[in-house]
Amino acid sequence: MGDIIMRKFKKIAGIFLIAFMLLFISACAKEEAGGTNTNDGNNNAADSNAGLPDDTGGADSANTGDAKADKWAQEPSNLPEADFGGREFTVITIEVADANRSYDHFTVDDQTGDPVIDAFYRRRLDIEEAYNIKMNTIIHANPGDTARKSILAGDDDINLIVDNLFNMRNLASQQILADLYTVPYISANMEKSWWDQALKRDLSVNGKLYFQAGDIVMKDKLRLAVMYFNKDMFQTVGVEYPYKDVYDGKWTIDRLMEITKDVNKDLNGDGVMDQYDQWGLMSQWENGLHMFLASGEKTINLNRDGVPEITINTPRAIEVIQKVLTVSTDGVTMFHADTIKGASNVWYTASEYFQENRFLMRTSLLEPVVRDLRPMPTDFGILPYVKYDEQQENYYTYVAGDGLFISVPAIADPEFSGFITEALAYASGSTLMPAFYDLCLTSKILRDDESEGMLDIIFGAKIYDIGCIYGIGTLHTMLSDLVQAKSTDFMSRFEKQQGSAEKGLDKFMENYG
């Protein structure tokens, strides 16, 4: 198997620009690497990975001295060798019309020289050659709905669905998705690092799980709540970059407000603070929800028996909400991008404003950093969302449900679907993930060494909220609505909507219990 992959690598090495490719030729491992694989210390890894491409680099790659190389070292997969005789593996996934969103792909037919596109292409070829299959990709604007019609018609040709969680949850509620804990090969490896452990922890309801993410897709990681800051403006106002605060556990709501409170300036002198002036913080109405979840609280939590319960109204949750709403409805320090006028797309315009050195900090999702800020002339840094207070032990990162996730149809061949899906997930650790970090870091977007450490914290702190993912009642919009209304009266709003939330949870349990 190693000979096959080596021959393929020699043919296309001139095109791949990402440092992870150095893994396959130990002589090249001595060149400068921006995130390469190394041997994981287990010299029999290739034997344990029988059918998969060999992702160990031997002694030379292990001794390169590049600390980043360890990031891509993987434990061995336990997949056996297999030859499927040219069998077709069919994936249905979203249509990607924007060339700037290469991370939305799941697989591609051709290489282009773009590191992300080529990573998808290389993973596809590796798996096709390793197991003698042919990947068939169906592209659709709404893959979930298309898959639903096919499955209900009894068509078992689709092996894997790639779509956002909002569409996938509807399929799960109709009981047409396989419980991944029952799918061979995937279930045996669910604890492995290439699968999303936070998703497994937070969305396994009554011992069942219908979707996953992790290394196998890219976009899920771009739909995370983060903060970023303008380095030049920090220097101008005389504030140290917050990296040390993050590492010291002192990156809190109070610290954020302290940094941003005296930055506002009426630049045009019209006596009105609006989108054309200078602000300490640009946020959005969803900041109320993002800060709430960053405190470690959730609208709905799983109890010890794995049963969902409404927890947005617990004593600590209410305490957090009052502070979050007080901060988020303060129009003195915080400007909400939702209020931008005269823009065809407020989020693209918000990114443009941030590049104009008029906003010290911005709260958003990670995607605009990669999508919009490449040409920004001023250096900036990225940070996890703030803690509630210093007593809070960990940082938490909100995950939006509109990223990409994978599911297996309930009527698909479980052995074949599970085997190839697991192979794709494992192979992604040495293909997609180095390309993803390269997209975020070494492509002149995030321009400092500290940002890689911040990304590690952000990705390692993910949480999923059942109330938000499944749209239970109005729990997922309640805080955003209050911020928009400039109201801090949470209890009145909750009491009015508690009944619909409880009915929604009952319906959810009826569908998934």
Residue 205: DSSP 8-state: B
HSE-CB of 467 using CA atoms within 13 angstroms? 27
pLDDT at 70: 60
What is the phi/psi pair of residue 134, to 5°?
Answer: -130, 120
At 395, list the tokens.
């940082």
Q: How far apart are CA 488 and CA 55, in angstroms?
A: 53
pLDDT at 443: 54
At 188, list the tokens.
């045996």
The predicted model scores a pTM of 0.84
- Read off the amino acid at residue 407: S
At 197, list the tokens.
């452990």
Residue range 2-221+402-458 in CATH 3.40.50.920:
no
> To which CATH superfamily is domain 225-398+465-512 assigned?
Periplasmic binding protein-like II (3.40.190.10)
Neighbours of 201 (CB within 10 A): 13
Ranges of the chain with pLDDT below 50: 1-50, 53-69
pLDDT at 72: 63
Instruction: Could you list the beta-strand ranges (E) of 292-446.
Output: 300-302, 308-310, 334-336, 359-365, 380-383, 397-398, 405-407
pLDDT at 375: 82
Q: Report angle CA 315, 316, 322 to the nearest 5 degrees.
A: 95
What does the domain layout of the chain look like in residue ranges? 2-221+402-458, 225-398+465-512
pLDDT at 52: 52
Do 2-221+402-458 and 225-398+465-512 show the same overall fold? Answer: yes
Spatial contact of 267 and 276, defined as CB atoms under 8 Å apart: yes
Spatial contact of 399 and 198, defined as CB atoms under 8 Å apart: yes
